[in-house]
């Protein structure tokens, strides 16, 4: 078990390392000069040279990479080539916002998916089950940002019940914070919930088929009791795996949803940096996002072993 | 492999055929020129002349949807094509080669999964500028891991069967095995995956266009239509619905088609 | 067996599903401590009969007729889920065929056994139930019961897992124990031990045993009485040694001949090839009325197109228009 954890940790760290190289390489292959971009068309040679020295782009590429990587390890994300402001604090702020959005969406998604999927599995040969399966198909087909736009159309514009976007810090205005959170979280959560429910339904059907549930019933447990006491943990295993797989897609949907609702999260930082060719910011944000995905996959791996005793090798 | 197609498969096939038909038709005929700006006719409601109305620049919505379907299909096709053409051989080779190769390739595969299409597209957009080309490549690369995984699993299934082992012992090389035995086994899986990756690509392209990182104007694109119409949502609330519906129906059709094909090919899933 | 209490009485049990009658007119009575074997080939309906007794028929199948169990006021057929779950594991219990998948892989053995006690309230409290579980594991002859109680199913062999399943079944001292091919999936060396364990356990608790198997040797070893099933019907019944040595039904005769019960060496010069019964078991739903065996029976005639009546002489019975007659028949 220990060996397995060490191996997975090694793989994780190697993955982070390789990812950082890939990100650095792709963005540095740019046929252009960050200094030029920053200073504009009428830059003087001296100004360019000075800018290059400041950015560190006059050094050979491997050195630049190493200094970037080293900075990251210390929490120093550098300074934007365009605004000269420190990137780290920006990322921290935005990360908080995106964190709220993503975490709430996952909660909503699970709250929706687990009951929906369980009922869909229990009724899977009936009309009710087919209806639920159909609903989840539609849910899967509607991308989260489209759901967001439609929700804005209905609830913000027509009915005027909720604001159409924006962001307020929770400590400044709790009520406003929650009101602004509802629609974006619903868009992400409902769609993710539909996707999750399909996997969960499959997992539940698998478990319902298992012999040990029959043994449980032969003991005298009623179907519902048997499912809860013996089925849930076994369903949990594939569900946790799916959650891990969905993280990347959730982050991406989140980026677009942030644009729909004008939420100042990591996603909009990413998009702004692309629009402005603010390279270092882009580099850092992509690194943070990829790191988040890799970390969550790693945690899922570990959780998997914790949930399933068959994966632990006892002495 | 002859089993009755499920209703989902039929509905999916019809929807997809509808999109393909619309795209093909748009080469020959559209109600109006999709890019023609007629400011005088801006933001008309659906009516006799413009069946679904016009947008902020007076362009006919139906025509835009029709021409936009071309973009949708092209991006979907190229992206899932890239994924299939690059990913499948990688998966096959990884499983047929030595263990270390398999391990390394699959780790690389998993790493690629950490770079969702949008992220890759954003990076490429920063480097090469926004456009359909970089978008297609980025999305294609993001679908690659699924094909590789699938091809690898399918190949391993075949390679461990006794008849292939016997052939290997008899001295027939791996290439012979690959061609004769592996392909029929994974062909079905790859087809299903193409349909599903196509759906993912459509969503990704719509998202990218919505964000302004996809197809550039004036070429119509469903995602950009959505973004345009969202800004005017108070003035023309219906305008958002058309591209939204188009995207959703296309994706629904592709998903149903993929699921239906999967049920058709894999008898083990019969009960579901 | 005068004086022994009837534990289980089954009358006219039919199992219907998908437009076909899968089990027809089954009759069975078990007294305390009695061990009865139910034999037949795959597809004859013996497992379905067992599942019907516990109310665990798969979706789409229904039972009709009467099943009466000692200590239970109502008929088991048609009983609601609430009533049945009070009975299962308490008054009637079952051991299934496949031990490798019968236990929850994510729950420790001790807890799974203890649960059986706690469901029916015979032991209260987690610690008392755990202690009772360990004691029970010892009684099914598992070595180091304490360690096993803390282990997970995948750490145990098939034979050990089957003992755990047996322990769970016996935990509440049920009046009737049903075993559906409990030794089929086990290694040959382990089979004999398991059989001995089962028979000793029911003797000790004075429970009635219904032992389902397709293996005639196992039936002969473990049980006193046997019921032979074919095509969803019981075609012959009686004391196991008598039925197997002097079968009356042509099918039973074929089974015995094909099962190599006598060592080949003891019959020098006789056939050295395995005999088989010509034909195959009809698929469910293919059976029209009449004797289900007539398509494969060497003695079949036109009268066999009507259902044979059951004819009982003494403690033997057979459903056949042309029963086999032997010189030393009683």
Quote the pLDDT of residue C114: 94
Quote the pLDDT of residue B17: 93
Check contact B-C (3+ Cβ pairs < 8 Å).
no
Q: Is residue C141 part of a domain?
A: yes
**Residues from chain A contacting residue B115 (CB–CB below 8 Å):** 19, 22, 290
Overall domain count for chain B:
1
Kindly state whether residues C215 and C236 are assigned to the same domain.
Answer: no
pLDDT of A193-210, one tens digit each? 998 888 888 888 888 888
Quote the pLDDT of residue C262: 55
Q: What's the whole-number mean pLDDT along residues C67-73?
A: 90
pLDDT of B55-103, one tens digit each? 788 788 888 898 889 989 999 999 999 999 999 888 888 877 788 888 8
**Residues from chain C contacting residue A219 (CB–CB below 8 Å):** 88-89, 115-116, 119, 168
Overall domain count for chain A:
2
The one-character DSSP state at C307 is P
**Closest CA of chain A from C131, distance in Å:** 18
Kindly state whether residues C216 and C263 are assigned to the same domain.
Answer: no
**Residues from chain A contacting residue C76 (CB–CB below 8 Å):** none
Kindly state whether residues C314 and C181 are assigned to the same domain.
Answer: no
Give which of C105, C136, C155 to mutate to test A binding, by max A Cβ within 10 Å.
C105
Q: Is the pLDDT of residue C160 over 90?
A: yes
Interface contacts A/C by beta carbons within 8 Å: 74
Kindly state whether residues C63 and C80 are assigned to the same domain.
Answer: yes
Task: Say whether B127 and A26 touch across the interface (CB within 8 A).
Answer: yes
Kindly state whether residues A100 and A32 are assigned to the same domain.
Answer: no
Kindly state whether residues A165 and A224 are assigned to the same domain.
Answer: yes
Kindly state whether residues C158 and C282 are assigned to the same domain.
Answer: no
**What string of DSSP letters covers chain B?**
---PPPHHHHHHHHHHHHHHHHHHHHHH--SS-TT---GGGTTPPS-SSSTT-B-TTS-BHHHHHHHHHHHHHHHHHHHHHHHHHHHHHHHHHHHHS-HHHHHHHHHHHHHHHTS-HHHHHHHHHHHH-SSHHHHHHHHHHHHHHHHHHHHHHHHHHHHTSHHHHHHHHTT--HHHHIIIIIHHHHHHHHHHHHHHHHHHHHHHHHHHHHHTSSSPTTS--HHHHHHHHHHTTTT-GGGGHHHHHHHHHHHHHHHHHHHHHHHHH-GGGTT-
Task: Say whether B237 and A297 touch across the interface (CB within 8 A).
Answer: no
CA dihedral B108, B109, B114, B120 (to 10 degrees): 90
Quote the pLDDT of residue C264: 44
Name the strand (E) or helix (H) holding C110. Answer: helix C109-119
**CB hemisphere CA count around C104 (13 angstroms):** 29
Q: Is residue B248 part of a domain?
A: yes
Q: Is the pLDDT of residue B235 over 60?
A: yes
Query: Does residue B256 contact residue B11 with C-beta atoms inside 8 Å?
Result: yes
Task: Name the closest residue on chain A to residue C167, using Cα atoms.
Answer: A219
Return the biggest CA–CA distance within chain A: 86
Kindly state whether residues A189 and A263 are assigned to the same domain.
Answer: yes
Q: What's the whole-number mean pLDDT along residues B121-136?
A: 83
pLDDT of B157-176, one tens digit each? 777 776 666 766 666 666 56
Kindly state whether residues C53 and C124 are assigned to the same domain.
Answer: yes
Based on the number of CB atoms within 10 Å of its own CB, is A254 exposed (0-12), middle (13-18) or buried (19 or more)? buried
**Residues from chain A contacting residue B126 (CB–CB below 8 Å):** 27, 30, 273-274, 277, 279, 282
Q: Supply the range of the domain harboring residue B219.
A: 7-25+73-149+186-264
The CATH number covering residue B191 comes to 1.10.3720.10
Q: Is residue C203 part of a domain?
A: yes
- Domain final position from C223, C257, C280: C223
Q: Is residue A83 part of a domain?
A: no
Query: Does residue C109 contact residue C45 with C-beta atoms inside 8 Å?
Result: no
Quote the pLDDT of residue B269: 43
Strand ordering across the sheet containing C310-313? C92-95, C176-180, C208-213, C35-39, C225-230, C233-239, C316-319, C310-313
**CB hemisphere CA count around C58 (13 angstroms):** 9
The one-character DSSP state at A228 is I
Percent of chain C with pLDDT over 70: 90
Task: Say whether B240 and A149 touch across the interface (CB within 8 A).
Answer: yes
**CA–CA separation, B248 vs B241, rounded Å?**
10
Quote the pLDDT of residue C274: 62
Per DSSP, the three-state class of A86 is strand
Q: Is residue B40 part of a domain?
A: no
Kindly state whether residues C315 and C247 are assigned to the same domain.
Answer: yes
Q: Is the pLDDT of residue C138 over 90?
A: yes
Q: Is the pLDDT of residue A22 over 50?
A: yes
Quote the pLDDT of residue C320: 85
Kindly state whether residues A67 and A114 are assigned to the same domain.
Answer: no
pLDDT of A72-119, one tens digit each? 888 888 888 777 788 888 888 888 889 889 999 999 999 999 888 888
- Domain final position from A18, A43, A73: A73
Question: Chains meeting B at 3+ CB pairs closer than 8 A?
Answer: A
Low-confidence winner among B231-235, C89-93, C267-271 (lowest mean pLDDT): C267-271
Overall domain count for chain C:
2
Quote the pLDDT of residue B28: 85
- Please measure the distance between the N-terminal and C-terminal CA atoms of chain B and give it in whole angstroms: 17
Quote the pLDDT of residue A200: 86
Quote the pLDDT of residue B171: 66
- Domain final position from C192, C223, C254: C223
**CA–CA separation, C239 vs A170, rounded Å?**
81
Q: Is residue A86 part of a domain?
A: no
Q: What is the 3-state secondary structure (H, E, C) of A113-177?
A: HHHHHHHHHHCCCCHHHHHHHHHHHHHHHCCHHHHHHHHHHHHHHHCCCCCCCCCCCCCCCHHHH
- Domain final position from C223, C251, C284: C223
The better pLDDT of the pair C276, B23 is held by B23
**CA–CA separation, B184 vs B194, rounded Å?**
16
Look at the block and give the residue holding tokens 């979706």.
C59
Kindly state whether residues A137 and A254 are assigned to the same domain.
Answer: yes
Quote the pLDDT of residue A114: 85
Quote the pLDDT of residue B271: 39
Q: Is residue A80 part of a domain?
A: no
Per DSSP, the three-state class of C316 is strand
Look at the block and give the residue holding tokens 């209490």.
C5
**Residues from chain C contacting residue A309 (CB–CB below 8 Å):** 105-106, 152, 154
The CATH number covering residue C191 comes to 3.40.50.300
Based on the number of CB atoms within 10 Å of its own CB, is B229 exposed (0-12), middle (13-18) or buried (19 or more)? buried
Check contact B-A (3+ Cβ pairs < 8 Å).
yes
Which residues 198-217 on chain A approach chain B with CB closer than 8 angstroms? 202, 205
Task: Say whether A215 and C85 touch across the interface (CB within 8 A).
Answer: no
The better pLDDT of the pair B145, C260 is held by B145
Q: Supply the range of the domain harboring residue C258.
A: 230-329
Closest listed residue to residue B54, CA positions, set B40, B44, B64: B44
Low-confidence winner among B201-210, B243-252, C256-265, C299-308 (lowest mean pLDDT): C256-265
The better pLDDT of the pair B98, C223 is held by C223
Quote the pLDDT of residue C1: 43
**Closest CA of chain A from B244, distance in Å:** 6
Kindly state whether residues C144 and C210 are assigned to the same domain.
Answer: yes
Per DSSP, the three-state class of C220 is helix
Kindly state whether residues C302 and C265 are assigned to the same domain.
Answer: yes
Closest listed residue to residue C208, CA positions, set C56, C37, C80: C37
Rg of chain A's alpha carbons, rounded to an integer? 24
Q: Is residue B156 part of a domain?
A: no
Q: Is the pLDDT of residue B48 over 80?
A: no
Q: Is the pLDDT of residue C281 over 70?
A: no
Kindly state whether residues A144 and A229 are assigned to the same domain.
Answer: yes
Query: Does residue C92 contact residue C8 with C-beta atoms inside 8 Å?
Result: yes
Kindly state whether residues A302 and A153 are assigned to the same domain.
Answer: yes
Kindly state whether residues C18 and C102 are assigned to the same domain.
Answer: yes
Kindly state whether residues C99 and C81 are assigned to the same domain.
Answer: yes
Q: Is residue B130 part of a domain?
A: yes
Q: Is residue A85 part of a domain?
A: no
Q: Supply the range of the domain harboring residue A21.
A: 2-73
Q: Name the residue facing B127 among A30, A142, A251 (closest C-beta).
A: A30
Closest listed residue to residue B95, CA positions, set B151, B45, B32: B151
The CATH number covering residue A284 comes to 1.10.3720.10
Kindly state whether residues C69 and C149 are assigned to the same domain.
Answer: yes
Quote the pLDDT of residue C131: 93
Task: Say whether B119 and A286 touch across the interface (CB within 8 A).
Answer: yes
Q: Is residue A81 part of a domain?
A: no
Give the residue numbers in B contacting A (CB under 8 Å), as ranges: 8, 107, 110-111, 113-119, 122-127, 199, 203, 206-207, 210-213, 226, 230, 233-234, 237, 240-241, 244, 247-249, 251-252, 255-256, 271-272
Quote the pLDDT of residue C165: 95
Low-confidence winner among A156-160, B2-6, C212-216 (lowest mean pLDDT): B2-6
Q: How confident is the model at residue C282 (pLDDT cuts 50, 70, 90)?
A: low
């Amino acid at each position: 078990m220990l060996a397995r954890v060490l191996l997975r940790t090694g793989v994780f760290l190697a993955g982070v390392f390789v990812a950082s190289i890939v990100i650095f390489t792709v963005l540095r292959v740019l046929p252009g000069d960050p200094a030029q971009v920053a200073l504009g068309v009428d830059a003087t040679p001296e100004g360019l040279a000075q800018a290059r020295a400041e950015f560190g782009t006059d050094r050979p590429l491997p050195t630049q990479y190493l200094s970037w990587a080293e900075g990251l390890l210390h929490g120093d994300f550098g300074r934007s080539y365009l605004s000269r402001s420190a990137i780290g604090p920006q990322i921290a702020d935005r990360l908080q916002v995106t964190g709220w959005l993503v975490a709430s969406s996952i909660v909503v998604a699970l709250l929706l998916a687990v009951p929906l999927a369980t009922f869909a599995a229990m009724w899977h040969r009936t009309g009710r089950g087919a209806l639920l399966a159909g609903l989840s198909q539609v849910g899967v087909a509607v991308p989260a940002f489209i759901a967001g736009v439609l929700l804005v159309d209905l609830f913000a514009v027509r009915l005027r019940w909720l604001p159409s976007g924006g962001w307020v810090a929770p400590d400044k205005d709790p009520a406003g914070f929650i009101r602004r959170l509802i629609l974006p979280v619903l868009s992400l959560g409902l769609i993710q919930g539909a996707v999750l429910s399909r996997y969960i339904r499959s997992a539940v059907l698998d478990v319902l088929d298992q012999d040990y549930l029959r043994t449980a019933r032969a003991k005298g447990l009623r179907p519902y009791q048997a499912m809860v006491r013996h089925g849930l943990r076994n369903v949990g295993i594939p569900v946790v795996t799916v959650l891990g797989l969905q993280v990347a897609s959730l982050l991406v949907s989140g980026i677009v949803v942030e644009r729909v609702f004008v939420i100042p999260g990591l996603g909009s930082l990413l998009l702004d940096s692309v629009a402005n060719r603010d390279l270092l910011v882009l580099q850092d944000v992509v690194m943070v996002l990829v790191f988040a995905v890799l970390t969550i996959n790693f945690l899922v791996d570990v959780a998997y072993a914790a949930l399933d005793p068959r994966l632990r090798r006892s002495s | 492999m002859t089993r009755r197609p499920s209703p989902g498969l039929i509905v999916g096939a019809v929807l997809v055929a509808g999109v393909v038909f619309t795209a093909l038709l748009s080469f020959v005929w559209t109600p109006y020129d999709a890019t023609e700006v007629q400011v005088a006719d801006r933001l008309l409601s659906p009516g006799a002349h413009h069946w679904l109305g016009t947008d902020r620049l007076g362009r006919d919505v139906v025509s835009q949807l029709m021409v936009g379907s071309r973009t949708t299909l092209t991006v979907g096709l190229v992206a899932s094509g890239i994924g299939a053409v690059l990913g499948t051989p990688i998966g096959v080779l990884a499983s047929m080669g030595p263990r270390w190769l398999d391990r390394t390739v699959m780790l690389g595969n998993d790493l690629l999964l950490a770079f969702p299409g949008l992220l890759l597209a954003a990076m490429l957009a920063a480097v090469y500028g926004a456009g359909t080309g970089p978008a297609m490549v980025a999305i294609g690369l993001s679908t690659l891991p699924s094909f590789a995984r699938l091809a690898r699993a399918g190949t391993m299934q075949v390679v461990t069967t006794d008849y292939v082992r016997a052939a290997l012992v008899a001295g027939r090389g791996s290439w012979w095995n690959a061609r004769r035995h592996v392909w029929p086994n994974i062909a079905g899986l790859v087809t299903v995956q193409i349909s599903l990756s196509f759906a993912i690509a459509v969503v990704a392209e719509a998202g990218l266009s919505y964000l302004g990182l996809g197809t550039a104007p004036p070429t119509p694109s469903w995602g950009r239509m959505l973004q345009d119409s969202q800004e005017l949502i108070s003035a023309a609330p219906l305008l958002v619905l058309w591209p939204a519906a188009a995207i959703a129906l296309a994706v629904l059709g592709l998903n149903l088609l993929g699921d239906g094909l999967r049920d058709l090919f894999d008898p083990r899933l019969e009960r579901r | 067996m005068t004086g022994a209490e009837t534990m289980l009485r089954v009358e006219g049990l039919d199992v219907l599903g998908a437009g076909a009658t899968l089990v027809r007119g089954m009759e069975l009575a078990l007294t305390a401590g009695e061990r009865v074997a139910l034999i037949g080939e795959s597809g004859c309906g013996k497992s379905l009969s067992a599942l019907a007794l516990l109310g665990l028929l798969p979706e789409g199948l229904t039972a009709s007729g009467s099943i009466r169990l000692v200590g239970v006021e109502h008929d088991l057929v048609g009983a609601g889920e609430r009533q049945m779950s009070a009975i299962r594991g308490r008054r009637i219990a079952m051991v299934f065929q496949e031990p490798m998948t019968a236990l929850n892989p994510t729950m420790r053995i001790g807890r799974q056994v203890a649960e059986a006690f706690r469901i029916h309230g015979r032991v209260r409290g987690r610690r008392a139930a755990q202690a009772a579980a360990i004691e029970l594991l010892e009684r099914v002859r598992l070595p180091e019961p304490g360690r096993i109680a803390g282990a997970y199913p995948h750490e145990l062999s098939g034979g050990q897992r089957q003992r755990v399943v047996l322990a769970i079944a016996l935990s509440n001292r049920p009046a009737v124990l049903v075993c559906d091919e409990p030794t089929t999936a086990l290694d040959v060396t382990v089979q004999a031990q398991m059989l001995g364990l089962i028979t000793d356990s029911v003797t000790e608790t004075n429970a009635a045993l219904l032992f389902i198997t397709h293996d005639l040797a196992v039936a002969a070893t473990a049980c006193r009485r046997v019921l032979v099933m074919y095509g969803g019907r019981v075609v012959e019944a009686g004391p196991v040694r008598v039925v197997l040595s002097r079968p009356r039904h042509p099918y039973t005769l074929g089974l015995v001949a094909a099962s190599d019960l006598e060592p080949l060496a003891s019959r020098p010069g006789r056939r050295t090839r395995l005999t088989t019964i010509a034909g195959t078991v009809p698929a469910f739903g293919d059976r029209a009325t009449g004797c289900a065996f007539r398509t494969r029976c060497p003695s079949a005639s036109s009268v066999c197109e009507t259902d044979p009546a059951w004819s009982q002489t003494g403690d033997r019975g057979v459903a056949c228009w042309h029963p086999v007659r032997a010189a030393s028949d009683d």
